[in-house]
Structure 1
Amino acid sequence: MRRVAMFLIAFCAIGPIVFAVELKSGLDRKAMDPSVRVQDNPFLFMNGNWLKHTPIPADKSNFGSFSLLEDEAQLAIKEICEEAAAGEHPDGSIEQQIGDFYTSFMDEATIAEHGIQSLQGELEAIDNVSSHDDLIELFGHFNQIGVETPFGFFVDQDDKDSTKYLAALIQSGTTLPDRDYYLEESEENLAARAALVKYINTLFDLSELPREGDVGTQILELETALAKLQWTRTELRDAHKRYNKHTLAELAELSPSLPWTTFFDAANVQGVEELNVCTPSFYQELDALIVETPLDVWKEYLRFHLMDAFASALPAPYVNAQFELYGKQLAGTLELQPRWKRAVDAISGGRGFGVLGDAAGQLYVKKHFPHRAKERMDELVSNLMLAYKQSIDDLEWMTPVTKERAKEKLAKITTKIGHTEKWRDYSILVVKPDDLLGNFLRSEELEYNRMIDKLGKPVDKDEWFMTPQTVNAYYNPGQNEIVFPAAILQPPFFDVEAHDAVNYGGIGAIIGHEISHAFDDQGSKYDGDGNLKDWWTDEDRAAFHKLTSKLVEQFNSYSPLPSKHVNGELTLGENIADLSGMSIAYKAYNLFLDGKEAPVIDDWTGDQRFFLGWSQSWQRKYRDAEMLKRLLVDPHSPSMYRSNGPMSNFDPYYEAFDVKLGDEQYREPTDRIRIW
């Protein structure tokens, strides 16, 4: 399971302002659109010209400030891969593994020659399924090689005992990004379902797999039945609802037709006495669906998911078919990425760990991480922490007893910056230069066993859940930590040559965003030791809910596409973090100024540059299909609303730009939502 939040930072320790050189504003004036009033739409004022004249690259579904840094990281990893592939390295070294994997990915002729040979054993296992017990056994095996089944099994920290790991089950088994794609009858969803049917049939044609009738429609009907059992994404956000510890006996009572011992044995999981069933109603109702669905349909379903899981490692027709669904239909992307980019993403992980993400990360850090950035980050984080501490004291809606507990939790937050000190071990991974599909299969098993090996061991608090080349950051409630990979620590978020105002409005607000996840509607359910435990009074929770329900209403009103709105409940945690992060970063900036007047640079005051820096950091545009998908699955609001929504609630923004009644951003003082 991936853990992701967002990102934050803070710039200089509190003290006198001394500049050895003249600093720039940090704002991209060429991106601005002076035809838009900053009082009406600060996002379009700051980014409008960029939006008008910057096309989304044909191989992307969206493009913005994050994309620029992701492109740079991708090029850096490409150079590492090409150097590794060109050299001679000892077997088992990370250079040999990276070089040989890159070679195997780029060798299209060998990939075409091998076809689906490496999957024949898995296909035979599907053919041999003759009972529902056999089916569940295969579900267990497919977990080990990363093939989708309805049983979403994983190992993670125990939410109520943060010192231990706990096995868990969550709903799974569908291909389209969200249950609504199956259940809602919009034109877009009907088109997505038709594209899925076409994709399924294409994979069966290419592989000459056995089928009965219209296999695509049969699998769509089965996945629709699964979607009807699934929880909504809003329901899945609730940490208390997701925590349902069961013994194996209780799990058997929940779904008596499913042979759980058979599943766990096949999944190579030993000694499980209890586990968290995150979505119990799903498994309760799945019990009947498993039995009622003919085995031949389940076998077709598994053949499809096997081919889908490894299509990127198969000959070009498979890759193209997969792109038609996931790239063109579901994201609106016009062109398949060049092969070298796909190779780099497979190795480096994009926003995951990929096949050799930490191995590539070690080499990336040696070449591209300036350790002085860590020192500046330490200073920024210290300032943001102090601003949060003072803010807690000033809260009118929080009771004194809860303020003290909040400060205790704040003091326990740990910070990780740049990269892990304990890299993942890939020494037993066999990587061959002429066996891409085999490389993927062996990697899946290695990473699965890495996860399973955690059971029965103490929680590793040194573990990172992002590589250093990932352009992102996160808050981890189970370990009460904020984490900033190396690749995010550069412009436009963190510019050492810019005056502090824009850095506080950019990366500082991002640091504040991550810290505030510890106190958002879900993070606030965890104590300072990372345990799911109520530490707020009922009075505090009621006051907090009153404020956040207004935020839900505000974001529900935003409509980025005709008749399509932001889901204020789904995005609530991130919207709280954006509003809180910006507010606290502004306080930290003023602590930094220490009562002194910020210089005017490029005709902008310090406060104005702070808010424009905030809007600049959200620079992004989307294709319509990508936007539609994000409205259903993304807990973050679209970028324009992340920029403008928080500012419309923040008095200092009104003062900085003289925002008045009649301006589009204006909200009555009594309607402005103040959380921190």
Structure 2
Amino acid sequence: MKKKIFAVLLSTAAVLAGPVACSGGGEDKAAASYSIGTEIGINKAAMDTSVNPGDDFYAYANGNWQKTTEIPADRSSTGAFYTAFLETEKRNRELIDAIVKGPVEKGTDQARIANFYKAYIDTPSIDKAGMKPVEPDLARFAAITDKAELSKILGEEVRADVDPLNATDFNTENLFGVFVTQGLATPGEVIPYLLQGGLGMPEREYYLSPDPKMASIRTAYQAYIATLLTAAGVADADAKAKRIFDLETKIARAHASREESEDFTKSADVWTKADFAKKAPGIDWPAFFSAAQLDGADKFGAYHAKAITGLSALVASQPLEAWKDWLAFHQINSHADVLPSAIDNAHFAFYGTILSGTPEQRSRDKRAIAAVNQYLGDAVGRVYAEKYFPASAKAEVSDMVDGIKAAFAKRVQAIDWMAPETKKEALKKVETIQVGVGYPETWRDYGSYQVSADAAYANEVAGEKAEYAHQLAKIGKPFDKGEWWMTPQTVNAVNLPVQNALNFPAAILQPPFFDPKADPAYNYGAIGAVIGHEISHSFDNNGAAFDSTGALRNWWTDADLKKFEEAGKALAEQYDQYKPFPDLAVNGKLTLGENIADVAGLQAAYDAYRASLKGKEAPVIDGFTGDQRFFIAYAQTWATKMRDEALRARIATDGHAPGMYRALTVRNLDAWYKAFDVKPTDKLYLPPEKRVRVWG
């Protein structure tokens, strides 16, 4: 099975990762309004200068855009990230179209791209095939006669479809998900992590929350299960839907919460294979590991240790028929896009419309481009980087990275409350960060991935297995600190804590984040803040738990850690005050890591910008000072408009606060107050002692 809930649910939600990836498609009617190319860089037409910046800085920078922009019918949200995505999607379309239409040599990556696209786009053939492609899988589930066979099948279905550290992605429809990298408690040793899974809705709160809105979603989800099974020709769909839903509710009760999942320090348990039978009885673990091709692993990161125990107990205690129904549903649900249209449409009606409020499904050709990028991302990325990311852009951004690293180090050096030994390790961490700009040094080999031009379902399943084999091959091998976790055509950036590394893909190094024609104030406020954000993730509430080698260890004195935690608590309380709905506030604790990275990253970017001026003042351009352009540029990169359903889902499940609140990070920087003459009577004003400094 493959995980695709969030691809629909958070299709255009603006994120930046210490984590996280954006996904999406569709045409944005307002996208053109964010085009850049003038010297000033910032978009004056997007602003509402009638608003006092000290009262509502987001509206000041984006107010007119917010009023006039319509969310495309096939999107759950839109914004600055989506603008960059549209240009990237256009480029990808041109590249893929050329490959599909041109001659390709059999067995090459170009042939794989062409075949995958052709099969995916051919909905008449998919509809004609009906359920035949998935029937062998359903037959495997129907043939299960005991818990030993169930354990074997559960192992066969496991995929490398989660990423707790880099993307904070904990969602898989399989009972467990696998992630492979250096172990949290095994420095230098690459091991498989085992994570909780098994839910069809985004996370446990959807099943357990007393919120009436969540209760209505639960009712809709059970009805959706029945609808999907009926569309698939499964008999007794209503009764099976209830069994599946009841089982998933029990699974949800066994799960760790999202906040618990994001606390790396509580997720470093290491189990041997023998430990599983002792600590998590219920599953036939030898059968499971053999089927999951994990026999060769000696150690496992039990990332969700309590959940592993709870889920294993459910395998033993819950009726076999319920598990067989659950397996069948999730095999269909997780591949709905390559099964008959009735199934695909039902899937979108729930995940797209009910969960995200999106009225229309994206066109098939756009979804095909996204699917090719998902399964053959490096193959597309290699062509993308060669064509669209010049060496000059790589050099300019690399210089900015060096400047922002230096600015961050200078701030650390100047901290008066930090003990010398803590400061020494912090500086070492900054100095040794490996930064990847644009694209990786080595490319993925897809040689073992067989792709047909007329078998869309088989292509997806084979792609999942190819990715799983690619990840398993790393176990026991030397740890690669230079490994990339994003493709060049991804509009995002990421901090990799166990590698002490950063990735800045080529696709985010374009307007509205980076423009070589714009003045430095703009670029430092836009892409500079992104760079600073990712560097700062090494020192957020989770990143600060890793040392310069990527090992999870406490390198802080008690006094230093207390001071750092106090700053984090203050920032969490600041975000708890933001309420997009009368009954729902941003979760300051859940979003703390991202918010810390925003504050520290923006400050480092500002310092680097000022340093780039070499003691001079920037010119006033179009009525704005350099500092004003810097802060406006930052706020405009967080232009965000979301449907209510998507916004509620974002707050419930995502470690990233919505963009309109991330733009308000400026409240914590003294320079912002001076740039816009913000007064104590203004709504966003924070007294100096209430401004969260975090680092410096």
Asked whether 1:58 is paired with 2:73, we answer yes
Aligned mates of 1:559, 1:342 — CA distance in 2: 33
1:269 counterpart (269, 291, 294) = 294
Aligned mates of 2:211, 2:265 — CA distance in 1: 32
Q: Is the CA contact (8 Å cut-off) linking 1:492 and 1:617 kept in structure 2?
A: yes
Q: Is the CA contact (8 Å cut-off) linking 2:226 and 2:241 kept in structure 1?
A: yes
2:366 counterpart (341, 346, 350) = 341
The residue number in structure 2 matching 1:226 is 251
Instruction: After superposition, give the CA deviation of every residue in 1:439-464 in whole Å (9 maximum; x if it has no partner).
Output: 11211111111111111211223321
Q: Is the CA contact (8 Å cut-off) linking 2:256 and 2:304 kept in structure 1?
A: yes
Instruction: After superposition, give the CA deviation of every residue in 1:48-106 in whole Å (9 maximum; x if it has no partner).
Output: 00010010000110100110111111121112222222122111111111111111111
What letter matches 2:269 in structure 1? N
Asked whether 1:150 is paired with 2:175, we answer yes
SS of 2:301's equivalent?
Answer: strand
1:521 counterpart (521, 541, 560) = 541
What letter matches 2:68 in structure 1? H
CA gap 1:211/1:266 in 2 versus in 1, 3 angstroms: farther
The residue number in structure 2 matching 1:97 is 112
The residue number in structure 2 matching 1:5 is 18
SS of 1:165's equivalent?
Answer: strand
Alpha-carbon offset, residue 568 of structure 1: 0.7
Aligned mates of 1:139, 1:668 — CA distance in 2: 56
What letter matches 2:347 in structure 1? Q
Alpha-carbon offset, residue 151 of structure 1: 2.3
Greater RCO (Cα-Cα under 8 Å, separation 6 or more): 1
Q: Is the CA contact (8 Å cut-off) linking 1:61 and 1:333 kept in structure 2?
A: yes
- Under a length normalisation based on structure 1, what TM-score does the superposition of the two structures give? 0.94
Instruction: After superposition, give the CA deviation of every residue in 1:620-663 in whole Å (9 maximum; x if it has no partner).
Output: 1110111011101111111111111x211211111111111110
Q: Is the CA contact (8 Å cut-off) linking 2:181 and 2:479 kept in structure 1?
A: no
The residue number in structure 2 matching 1:544 is 564
Q: Is the CA contact (8 Å cut-off) linking 2:17 and 2:534 kept in structure 1?
A: no
Aligned mates of 2:159, 2:434 — CA distance in 1: 33
SS of 1:648's equivalent?
Answer: helix
SS of 1:214's equivalent?
Answer: helix
The residue number in structure 2 matching 1:369 is 389
Q: Is the CA contact (8 Å cut-off) linking 2:126 and 2:340 kept in structure 1?
A: yes
Instruction: After superposition, give the CA deviation of every residue in 1:382-440 in whole Å (9 maximum; x if it has no partner).
Output: 11011111101111331222111111111111110011121111122221111111111
Asked whether 1:415 is paired with 2:431, we answer no
Alpha-carbon offset, residue 198 of structure 1: 2.0
Alpha-carbon offset, residue 191 of structure 1: 2.3
What letter matches 2:645 in structure 1? A
Aligned mates of 2:483, 2:76 — CA distance in 1: 31
Q: Is the CA contact (8 Å cut-off) linking 2:271 and 2:299 kept in structure 1?
A: yes
CA gap 1:296/1:211 in 2 versus in 1, 3 angstroms: farther
The residue number in structure 1 matching 2:378 is 358
- Under a length normalisation based on structure 2, what TM-score does the superposition of the two structures give? 0.92
Asked whether 1:666 is paired with 2:679, we answer no
CA gap 1:161/1:287 in 2 versus in 1, 3 angstroms: closer
Aligned mates of 1:658, 1:227 — CA distance in 2: 50
Alpha-carbon offset, residue 4 of structure 1: 4.3
SS of 1:366's equivalent?
Answer: helix
The residue number in structure 2 matching 1:614 is 634
SS of 1:551's equivalent?
Answer: helix
SS of 2:355's equivalent?
Answer: helix
Q: Within 5 Å, which residues of 2 pair with 1:11-30? A: 24-30=39-45
The residue number in structure 2 matching 1:11 is none
Q: Is the CA contact (8 Å cut-off) linking 2:229 and 2:237 kept in structure 1?
A: no
Alpha-carbon offset, residue 247 of structure 1: 1.5
Alpha-carbon offset, residue 160 of structure 1: 3.0
The residue number in structure 1 matching 2:140 is 125
Alpha-carbon offset, residue 213 of structure 1: 5.1
What letter matches 1:174 in structure 2? L
CA gap 1:461/1:669 in 2 versus in 1, 3 angstroms: closer
In the alignment, structure 1 segments of 5+ residues that lack a partner are 8-21, 349-353
What letter matches 1:476 in structure 2? L
Alpha-carbon offset, residue 345 of structure 1: 0.5
What letter matches 1:487 in structure 2? A
The residue number in structure 1 matching 2:551 is 531
Instruction: After superposition, give the CA deviation of every residue in 1:230-262 in whole Å (9 maximum; x if it has no partner).
Output: 111111111110110012222211122221111
What letter matches 1:373 in structure 2? A
The residue number in structure 2 matching 1:175 is 200
What letter matches 1:674 in structure 2? R
Instruction: After superposition, give the CA deviation of every residue in 1:99-141 in whole Å (9 maximum; x if it has no partner).
Output: 1111111111111111221211111111111111111110011
What letter matches 1:584 in structure 2? A
The residue number in structure 2 matching 1:214 is 239
Q: Is the CA contact (8 Å cut-off) linking 2:586 and 2:651 kept in structure 1?
A: yes
Instruction: After superposition, give the CA deviation of every residue in 1:261-287 in whole Å (9 maximum; x if it has no partner).
Output: 110011122222221111111122223
Q: Is the CA contact (8 Å cut-off) linking 1:145 and 1:441 kept in structure 2?
A: no
The residue number in structure 1 matching 2:454 is 434
1:580 counterpart (596, 600, 607) = 600
What letter matches 1:62 in structure 2? S
Q: Is the CA contact (8 Å cut-off) linking 1:83 and 1:99 kept in structure 2?
A: no
What letter matches 2:289 in structure 1? F
What letter matches 2:71 in structure 1? I
SS of 1:331's equivalent?
Answer: coil
Aligned mates of 1:380, 1:579 — CA distance in 2: 18
Alpha-carbon offset, residue 42 of structure 1: 1.0
The residue number in structure 2 matching 1:137 is 152
Instruction: After superposition, give the CA deviation of every residue in 1:603-635 in whole Å (9 maximum; x if it has no partner).
Output: 111111111111111111110111011101111
What letter matches 1:99 in structure 2? A
The residue number in structure 2 matching 1:505 is 525
Q: Within 5 Å, which residues of 2 pair with 1:253-264? A: 253-264=278-289
Aligned mates of 2:468, 2:57 — CA distance in 1: 46
Q: Is the CA contact (8 Å cut-off) linking 2:256 and 2:307 kept in structure 1?
A: yes
Q: Is the CA contact (8 Å cut-off) linking 1:196 and 1:216 kept in structure 2?
A: no
CA gap 1:144/1:384 in 2 versus in 1, 3 angstroms: closer
The residue number in structure 1 matching 2:25 is none
Aligned mates of 2:483, 2:567 — CA distance in 1: 35
**Percent of matched pairs sharing the same residue:** 39
Alpha-carbon offset, residue 309 of structure 1: 1.5
Alpha-carbon offset, residue 212 of structure 1: 7.0
What letter matches 1:421 in structure 2? E
The residue number in structure 1 matching 2:328 is 303
What letter matches 2:82 in structure 1? S
SS of 2:663's equivalent?
Answer: helix
Asked whether 1:443 is paired with 2:466, we answer no
Aligned mates of 1:452, 1:278 — CA distance in 2: 17
Asked whether 1:647 is paired with 2:662, we answer no
The residue number in structure 2 matching 1:250 is 275
Alpha-carbon offset, residue 507 of structure 1: 0.9
Asked whether 1:481 is paired with 2:517, we answer no
Aligned mates of 1:211, 1:160 — CA distance in 2: 48
CA gap 1:23/1:96 in 2 versus in 1, 3 angstroms: closer
Asked whether 1:402 is paired with 2:417, we answer no
In the alignment, structure 2 segments of 5+ residues that lack a partner are 7-15, 21-36, 162-171
Alpha-carbon offset, residue 338 of structure 1: 0.4
Aligned mates of 2:212, 2:111 — CA distance in 1: 49
SS of 2:612's equivalent?
Answer: helix
Aligned mates of 2:254, 2:295 — CA distance in 1: 29
Alpha-carbon offset, residue 667 of structure 1: 1.2
RMSD: 1.7
Q: Which moved more, 1:301-310 or 1:395-404?
A: 395-404
Q: Which moved more, 1:214-223 or 1:548-557?
A: 214-223
What letter matches 1:564 in structure 2? L
SS of 2:189's equivalent?
Answer: strand
Asked whether 1:88 is paired with 2:113, we answer no
The residue number in structure 2 matching 1:561 is 581
Alpha-carbon offset, residue 588 of structure 1: 0.8
Aligned mates of 1:322, 1:359 — CA distance in 2: 29
Q: Is the CA contact (8 Å cut-off) linking 2:232 and 2:343 kept in structure 1?
A: no
